[in-house]
């Protein structure tokens, strides 16, 4: 099966999957909602365990943003179930989100999660999909490096803020070194607007103006 890499702004590929919560169709079953699909290399591995706990610790924050979490690895569903039981029993954390059992590797191939030199395991990929089923953000980490879930939350908030307000989001928002929690106004589209931009908004130049939310 050929490995492909989806492109930002395109529809998420149609996927029929088996999960720890039963059968799902993505993105169809998530229509009208944001969701975060993330892969991990394997069950019963230390880094992946820390990631699952970290995602679950932020479960309510994702829910408040109207976003669902969905995990995935190339393991069978019974392995997922046993690992989730182990996490609850040994670490006291109940995993509430579904985990896709991609034991044939079909989903991983469609989404470009199998990288050369990494065997058959998936890399640590993250896909944020919007309510229209469009892929809005992708992150890829190697097996050796665990992810920062606060950054994934921040990116989701930034996407939603950009969509809702027609603005761009600066680096490190809402704690940007130059403009703090303010957001960037789209640049002027003609010379008249460029000349008046700084009289209407805060900014360093007509092409770099910003405002409060």
Q: Is 204 helix (H, G, I), strand (E, B) or coil?
A: strand
On whether the CB atoms of residues 140 and 40 are closer than 8 A, the answer is no
Give me the CATH number covering residue 42: 3.40.30.10
**Catalytic choice (12, 48, 69, 152):** 48
> What is the pLDDT averaged over residues 167-185?
98
Q: What is the mean pLDDT of the chain?
A: 93
Q: Where do runs of H (alpha helix) occur along 58-177?
A: 59-64, 77-91, 106-110, 149-165
pLDDT exceeds cutoff 60 at 1: no
Is residue 99 located within the same domain as residue 181? Answer: no
Give the per-residue pLDDT at 113: 80
Residue 179: give its domain's CATH number: 3.30.1020.10
Q: What is the pLDDT of residues 24-64, one digit of tens each?
A: 999 999 999 999 999 999 999 999 999 999 999 999 999 99
In this prediction, residue 111 carries a pLDDT of 87
- The pLDDT of residue 97 is 98
Same domain, 189 and 113: no
Q: Are residues 66 and 137 in the same domain?
A: yes
**Per the domain annotation, does 94 fall within a domain?**
yes
Quick check: helix, strand or coil at residue 193? helix
Predicted confidence (pLDDT) at residue 70 exceeds the cutoff of 60: yes
Host domain of residue 208:
166-213
Is 154 among the domain residues?
no
Q: What is the pTM of this model?
A: 0.92
Which has the closest alpha carbon to 156: 138, 140, 141? Answer: 138
Regarding whether 121 and 87 lie in a shared domain, the answer is: yes
If asked whether residues 45 and 121 sit together in one domain, one would say yes
115 and 32 share a domain? Answer: yes
Is the pLDDT reported for residue 157 higher than 60?
A: yes
Expressed in percent and rounded to 5, the helix, strand and coil fractions of the chain are 30, 25, 45
Residue 48 annotated as catalytic: yes
* pLDDT computed for residue 168 by the predictor: 98
Q: pLDDT at residue 4 above 80?
A: no
Could you tell me if 133 and 193 lie in one domain?
Answer: no
Q: In this predicted structure, what is the pLDDT of residue 5?
A: 74
**What is the structure's pLDDT at 116?**
64
DSSP classification of residue 181? T
């Amino acid at each position: 099966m050929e490995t492909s890499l989806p492109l930002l702004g395109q529809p998420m590929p149609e996927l029929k999957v088996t999960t720890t919560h039963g059968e799902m169709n993505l993105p169809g079953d998530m229509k009208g909602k944001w969701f975060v699909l993330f892969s991990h290399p394997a069950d019963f591995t230390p880094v992946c365990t820390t990631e699952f706990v970290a995602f679950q610790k932020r479960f309510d924050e994702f829910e408040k943003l109207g976003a669902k979490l969905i995990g995935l690895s190339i393991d069978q569903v019974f392995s997922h179930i046993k690992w989730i039981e182990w996490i609850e029993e040994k670490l006291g954390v109940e995993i509430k989100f579904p985990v896709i059992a991609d034991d044939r590797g079909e989903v991983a191939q469609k989404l470009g999660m199998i990288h050369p030199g990494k065997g058959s395991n998936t890399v640590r990929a993250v896909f944020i999909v919007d309510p229209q089923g469009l892929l809005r953000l992708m992150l890829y980490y190697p097996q050796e490096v665990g992810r920062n879930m606060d950054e994934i939350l921040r990116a989701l908030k930034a996407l939603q803020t950009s969509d809702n307000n027609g603005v761009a989001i600066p680096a490190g928002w809402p704690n940007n070194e130059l403009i703090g929690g303010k957001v960037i106004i789209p640049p002027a589209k003609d010379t008249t607007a460029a000349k008046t931009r700084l009289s209407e908004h805060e900014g360093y130049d007509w092409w770099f103006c910003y405002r409060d939310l």
